[in-house]
Amino acid sequence: MAVQPARVPPASKKKATRRPGPSRKAVPALLDRDPAAGIAAIVRDTYLAFKQAIHAQLREHGITTAQWQFLRVLWHREGLNQNELSASLRNHPSTTVSALHLLERNGYVRRERSDTDRRNAHVFLTPKGRALEKKLIPHAAEISALAVRGMSKSDVEILKTLLTQAMRNLDGIGPTD
């Protein structure tokens, strides 16, 4: 006897935005799955959890998580050239060019040629790009607060210090372009 697949109702046209919180399908923590997991694996899984948590909010504005990183830098240091932006995010220049093209096409940034070196383009936010900060940063702060729930302020500071030290220890290791 063949099993009939369950009928799935058509998706609603309204996009559902999920608030941060436990996922519907709880995934065991990495250390529960692999007690010998290294720091790199734990950091990767944490990054993916953050990325998943903010994805729906970004999608509402047509922004990818990669483009989100560029916007975060520009909200603090507007007017960087493309090479400075690549270096600040540890990205390959071609990745930066692609992301900026999409952000520019969507009206979030504009590029201006340098007066001193026409090969250089400086990146500036448009009013639309600046407005996104007020919409998205509170959501990111909410996700960060959720991530450190149950940790003391001193534990959070220690975590930040240790991760920063690990990053500094790895600076300069690997291929350079």
Residue 66 and residue 99 in contact, taking contact as beta carbons nearer than 8 Å: yes
pTM > 0.75: no
Q: CA-CA distance, 82 to 68, in Å (whole number)?
A: 16
User: How many domains does the structure of the chain reveal?
Assistant: 1
Measured at the CA of 67, the angle between CA 47 and CA 83, to 5 degrees, comes to 105
In a domain, 32, yes or no: no
In a domain, 33, yes or no: no
Report pLDDT digits (tens) over 146-177. Answer: 999 999 999 999 999 999 999 899 887 765 54
C-alpha distances out from residue 151 to 27, 43, 69, 146, Å: 20, 17, 26, 10
* pLDDT band at residue 42 under the 50/70/90 scheme: confident
The CATH number covering residue 74 comes to: 1.10.10.10
